[in-house]
Amino acid sequence: MAIIGGGITGLTAAFRLQQQGISAVLFEATDRVGGVIQTVREGGYLAECGPNTILETSPLIGELITALGLEDHRIDTNESAENRYIVRNKHPVKLPSSPLGFMASPLFSCRAKARLLAEPFIRRAPADEEESLAKFVRRRIGREFLDYAINPFVAGVYAGAPENLSTREAFPKLHALEQRYGSLILGQILGARERKRSGSVSKQNAPKFSFDQGLETLTTALGQQLKEQIRTCQAINKVVQQNNAWSLDQAGEYSAVLLALPAFRLVELQLTCDSNPVSLSELADIQYSPVASVVLGFRREDVEHPLDGFGALNPQVEQLNSLGTIFSSSLFPGRAPLGQVLLTSYVGGLRAPHLVTKTPDELCDLVMEDLNRVLGVSGEPTYRHVFVHRRAIPQYDVGFGRFKTFMNELEQNVSGLFFAGHCRDGVSLVDSIVSGHNAADRIAGHLHQTCQNE
């Protein structure tokens, strides 16, 4: 069995197979496993170049951490991380967390608040209609919520555009709330009661965590468990199936293959099944947003804002340079030396894709301008690390369903071929972990079945 791609998806799948006594060889193009998860430790600072936190919405996460013996290294965000700021008129305003707080909040106008009261009376859209997130939000709760709640939130998750994203594909729970309860507000209330009964956790209440040495702790631990099975610096370009055996470039023959790759790498693969070329070019239409992570350290006294929260998101209408900033050293201890703070800002996204082509100095200047205006940051950074992801996050735009159908159909029609990862099963870390885990179970079932037939 072979796995192509050594990001969190491929690693999770290989580990899950190992737990079931199935040995998989994992091929990774670069000289390290982990994919976009990359932690840099220098001079007492700990910078994340890719993801910063895991949202524990699935019990599989806890099981994986226990199986890897990482419980003592896990650190959950502290209580103040529940505070989220949204920038309005260039000032960070706390996102209200209760109905009373909402009524008193300066984040939304009285008109927008009154408009919300009409939400339960707005008719649900037909179940088969695929609506963009922007259209959905304007229809149900009005333009101001789109601008000051949904737009910055979407920048934080997808670095994407609400006008393009599909409500059903990118935010299936939101779509389901409308379909099931006919109202987002009623759905929130009734859904909370149902969750209480069933013991499940909503995204807002799910624990958020990292590790004392950063998120790379997880992929390093997986790499150590799989040591003998990992082949780094081995990009696979050609995958050929013949007589139920899979051969990869010059890298041997396998009983099955899992493709745990970004869409833009899948389309480059030369795939041949029973002497017929199989084109994956359909997936070339999956758009990726570009993102630059700009991590800056400052003396505490050079930052006016208390940094008492998760971070601050910048709505597009505010016309700032960056998408938002995570208060990294407030979330987790050990991210900056004593007396210093660490802030992680993101630039680019579909809002301003051209910005990621700027030099690191220019990117730092753009972020400094925003930090100065929004958080009252003065003085020179004491630390900086810039990392550019030219193709960071796949966009689950209107019509995205066809890509999932395409991969599902290939899996069904080509025996021994499997797909997993962020361009199929969701863009978050937890989605990737669940995707790798579930793919491993499908593979184990397939291998079991093939053994029985022989």
Ligand X SMILES: Cc1cc2nc3c(=O)[nH]c(=O)nc-3n(C[C@H](O)[C@H](O)[C@H](O)COP(=O)(O)OP(=O)(O)OC[C@H]3O[C@@H](n4cnc5c(N)ncnc54)[C@H](O)[C@@H]3O)c2cc1C
- Residues near ligand X (CB under 6 A) are 4-10, 27-30, 35-37, 50-55, 235-236, 260-262, 265, 291, 293, 389, 392-393, 421-422, 427-429, 432
d(CA 35, CA 11): 10
Least separation in angstroms between CB 333 and ligand X: 18
Least separation in angstroms between CB 417 and ligand X: 15
Nearer to ligand X, 371 or 429 (CB): 429
Nearer to ligand X, 364 or 393 (CB): 393
d(CA 74, CA 215): 9
Nearer to ligand X, 183 or 329 (CB): 329
Please provide the size of the chain in residues. Answer: 454
77 closest CA partner among 52, 41, 98: 52
Least separation in angstroms between CB 88 and ligand X: 24
Least separation in angstroms between CB 356 and ligand X: 11
Nearer to ligand X, 119 or 282 (CB): 282
**For residue 305, what are its two tokens?**
């804002």
Least separation in angstroms between CB 348 and ligand X: 10
Nearer to ligand X, 151 or 293 (CB): 293
d(CA 427, CA 421): 8
Nearer to ligand X, 95 or 291 (CB): 291
Q: How many CB atoms lie within 10 A of CB 437?
A: 22
Least separation in angstroms between CB 275 and ligand X: 22
Q: Which residues, in sequence order, are CB contacts of 439 under 8 Å at separation 6+?
A: 9, 13, 258, 260, 418, 419, 420
Nearer to ligand X, 147 or 411 (CB): 411
- Geometric angle at alpha carbon 81, from 80 and 87, rounded to 5°: 105
d(CA 42, CA 50): 16
d(CA 364, CA 347): 10
Residue 7 contacts residue 35 (beta carbons within 8 Å):
yes
3-state secondary structure of 237: coil
Nearer to ligand X, 141 or 292 (CB): 292
Nearer to ligand X, 187 or 262 (CB): 262
Nearer to ligand X, 151 or 183 (CB): 151
Least separation in angstroms between CB 31 and ligand X: 10
Task: Give Cα 407 distance to the centre of its chain.
Answer: 20
Least separation in angstroms between CB 236 and ligand X: 4
Residue 94, H or E segment: strand 91-94
Least separation in angstroms between CB 38 and ligand X: 9
d(CA 422, CA 186): 31
Q: Which residues, in sequence order, are CB contacts of 192 under 8 Å at separation 6+?
A: 202
284-313 burial, b if ≥16 CB within 10 A, otherwise e?
eebbbbbbbbbbbbbbeebbebebebbbbb
Least separation in angstroms between CB 185 and ligand X: 27
d(CA 89, CA 173): 31
End-to-end CA, the chain: 17
Q: What is the CA radius of gyration of the chain?
A: 23
